[in-house]
Structure 1
Amino acid sequence: MEWSTGYLGRMAVEAVDARPELELVGVFVSDPAKVGVDAGRLAGLGRDLGVIATDDRATLLALDPDAIVYTAETETRFMPAIEDFRGFLRAGIDVVASGPVLLQYPHGTLPEEMIAQLVDAAREGGATLHVNGIDPGFANDVLPLVMTSLSRRIDLIRVGEIADYSVYHQGETMRRLFGFGRSMDTLPPLLRPGMLAAGWGSVVRQLAAALEVTLDEPLVERHERLPADRDLSLLACEVPAGTQAALRFEVVGQVDGEDRIVLEHVTRTAVDQAPDWPRPDHGDGCYRIDILGEPAMRVEFTHHAEHGDHNESGMLVTAMRLVNAVEAVVAAEPGLVYAKDLPMITGRGLMRR
């Protein structure tokens, strides 16, 4: 079952249809205009799938699906999403979800009693919850952990995103949360003490847990900001000269005061900004993993849509990571399951003639 048919949800519907072992049995929508529309039409497939979208939760849960792919917006409705999950899990329905990202690995970030409520609901229903995506997600949990299987000694792991956000389409996120286009005298909400660790600390803590490393507490937060040297007109907002135009931050896990696991984001709104900050080895943006030790290793992961840009493909790889994980999540023990615990997930069955 697909829960929500926004930009990501429409991709998830198509992804479910592409997986040979999955059958779409229901679709939840919150927009009244979508009620009664075939899921294939909502997903832009140009054909019917024989599944009609509805906003009737009871009707959908009565279908008794094995799993729900949950792509509804969660960052501004954290507690409603938690309540959704508890209800699904108690009903015995496995869930793979794109958020809230805190649940990618919530230990040390969320109160343990809140985590326990989800675990209790899962055990009551015999169901499993898995939250993942690309960042936080595959690019900074699965990919670096796979690389560590080649290590003899690990001194430092650095994972992160280097990106040009000039074509990023989320205006509210760009301006209000990140502070782009706002005065350099105003500290954006993202950079208030504890916020970076709340958003990305799960990445650092999951890597530490997988490597059996005990980190110092609290995690360390660092950031730099740079103003625009000229007026910029972005897809999401305007950035007048002198206002914030570039941001670099780190969330750091230390051991005895020494950096060991670093989550880094380097965000520009013009490709010529901050020439001394990290840049991709190729192209304008990437996810990068650096492992210092023996041997030293670097991987840069990029993506691009067949008929669009990296923003579209970023949504697509998120949707596919979730949908392709459904079978493994259904097979997992009841509770919360994390990327570090799942078996290898592949695109089995997706190579076509």
Structure 2
Amino acid sequence: MTIRVVEWSTGTVGRHAIAGIDARPDLELVGVWVSGPAKIGKDAGELAGLGRELGVSATNDRDALVALRPDCIVHTAMTDDRVFDAIEDLIFFISQGINVVSSGPVVLQFPHGVLPDELVERVEAAGREGNASLHVNGIDPGFANDALPLSITSLSQRIDEVRCLEIADYSTYYQPVVMKSIFGFGQPMDSTPMLLNPGVLSLAWGSVVRQIAAGLDLTLDEPLEEQFDRVAADRDYSTVSVEIPEGTMAALHFQVIGKVGGVPRVVLEHFTRTHPDQAPDWPTPAKGDGCYRIIVSGEPEMEVEFTHHGKHGDHNVSGMIVTAMRLVNAVAAVVDAKPGLVTALDLPLISGRGLVAGS
């Protein structure tokens, strides 16, 4: 059975989602939503850079796309700066009977214990009303710190700690709002960017820690612990998103720590540079400019390093591809899932079925 899909946005993630939808024989692209007026009326293939038309024109008419009655929306619109408005959008879609896979808001990856119970129940109720499911995922938060680490723990005899790291150079990551306003790169060292206000790290990545804990049947101490340290630029740096003058914030290390009885058991940790020369004492990838590293301490000791690299770009480009494809490849499973909020703990094995070249 072919699943009819609408792609919601055509930006850094959405354009790759269109390519992925087109590549899967079980999916049919029937509509595309865009926010910018310059994109309205353009063919989806052009917006995705495919070099050919797909016969689907972009629109900013939400109601017209809903009226198509698609089986699923692949939602990749920017949500970091409009979290609660975006949640309302997703609630509307599933209440209308349309399943959704979305790259954000990332807190919905596993909102239990992060968002108010009444808001989570609104999502669940909307899913029951429309008999539709919502799954929020990607690469981080997402596969690199839910399905991957939990799969690794299946090899354990004893688990002392699960630690999920992202180690990356963000100099080629194009998201100006995220880089400047949310992370604070290029801003004075005495300023407090949105991400470093108390509780925000736990809002953004606490879902990761809590989902792994749920997968391991742990009850965490409350609240989660947040730690961070910043490095000032030793000279002027340029990135594709923001200029970083000497003396302003150039690198950020943070942790969200889940403890049990005061002992760290699940830790999410990021080492984010805006140039590979920065913070030489911090961990570096074994290969390339970015990686995800999973460390499971216990018996046995295990460590896995996961890297990706785009054919036509670096790890920041492929980061957009893997985010898009984790969603696209999950569409069929989410359509078949129970109504309401669906997390990685609820889904079967997701694979790239149908994507092998020449098959």
Question: d(CA) in 2 for partners of 1:284 and 1:83?
Answer: 36
Quick check: 1:194 aligned with 2:199? Answer: yes
- The Cα of 1:285 is off from its aligned counterpart by 1.7
Post-superposition CA distance 1:221-247 (Å, at most 9, x none): 011112222222233222222222221
- In structure 1, the gaps of 5 or more residues are none
Question: d(CA) in 1 for partners of 2:250 and 2:239?
Answer: 10
- The Cα of 1:220 is off from its aligned counterpart by 0.3
Quick check: 1:51 aligned with 2:48? Answer: no
Q: Percent identity?
A: 64
4+ residue runs of structure 1 moved beyond 3 angstroms? none
The residue matched to 2:30 in structure 1 has which SS?
coil
**What corresponds to 2:309 in structure 1?**
304
Post-superposition CA distance 1:7-29 (Å, at most 9, x none): 21111111111111111111122
Quick check: 1:256 aligned with 2:261? Answer: yes
Give 2:100's match in structure 1, choosing from 92, 95, 98: 95
- The Cα of 1:178 is off from its aligned counterpart by 1.8
- The Cα of 1:273 is off from its aligned counterpart by 2.2
The residue matched to 2:20 in structure 1 has which SS?
helix
**What corresponds to 2:336 in structure 1?**
331
In structure 2, the CA distance between the partners of 1:42 and 1:180, relative to structure 1 (3 Å rule), is closer
Question: d(CA) in 2 for partners of 1:66 and 1:4?
Answer: 17
CA RMSD of aligned residues (A): 1.3
**What corresponds to 2:129 in structure 1?**
124
Quick check: 1:148 aligned with 2:156? Answer: no
Question: d(CA) in 1 for partners of 2:157 and 2:288?
Answer: 31
The residue matched to 2:140 in structure 1 has which SS?
coil
Post-superposition CA distance 1:162-185 (Å, at most 9, x none): 011222222332222222222222
Describe how 1:1-353 pairs up with structure 2 within 5 A. Answer: 1-353=6-358
The letter of the residue matching 1:190 is L
- In structure 2, the gaps of 5 or more residues are 1-5
The residue matched to 2:13 in structure 1 has which SS?
helix
Between the two proteins, the alignment pairs up a number of residues equal to 353
Post-superposition CA distance 1:66-97 (Å, at most 9, x none): 11101111122223322221221111111000
Question: d(CA) in 2 for partners of 1:52 and 1:89?
Answer: 23
Question: d(CA) in 2 for partners of 1:244 and 1:34?
Answer: 35
The letter of the residue matching 1:92 is G
Question: d(CA) in 1 for partners of 2:62 and 2:245?
Answer: 46
The residue matched to 1:160 in structure 2 has which SS?
strand
In structure 2, the CA distance between the partners of 1:11 and 1:108, relative to structure 1 (3 Å rule), is same
- The Cα of 1:272 is off from its aligned counterpart by 2.5
The residue matched to 2:93 in structure 1 has which SS?
helix
Contact 2:233/2:244 (8 A) holds in 1: yes
- The Cα of 1:189 is off from its aligned counterpart by 2.4
Question: d(CA) in 1 for partners of 2:288 and 2:197?
Answer: 31
- The Cα of 1:55 is off from its aligned counterpart by 2.0
- The Cα of 1:305 is off from its aligned counterpart by 0.6
The letter of the residue matching 1:58 is D
- The Cα of 1:347 is off from its aligned counterpart by 0.6
The letter of the residue matching 1:59 is A
Contact 2:253/2:271 (8 A) holds in 1: yes
Question: d(CA) in 2 for partners of 1:51 and 1:196?
Answer: 39
Q: Which moved more, 1:180-189 or 1:208-217?
A: 180-189
In structure 2, the CA distance between the partners of 1:120 and 1:237, relative to structure 1 (3 Å rule), is same
Question: d(CA) in 1 for partners of 2:141 and 2:117?
Answer: 20
Question: d(CA) in 2 for partners of 1:294 and 1:262?
Answer: 18
In structure 2, the CA distance between the partners of 1:171 and 1:52, relative to structure 1 (3 Å rule), is closer
Question: d(CA) in 1 for partners of 2:38 and 2:193?
Answer: 36
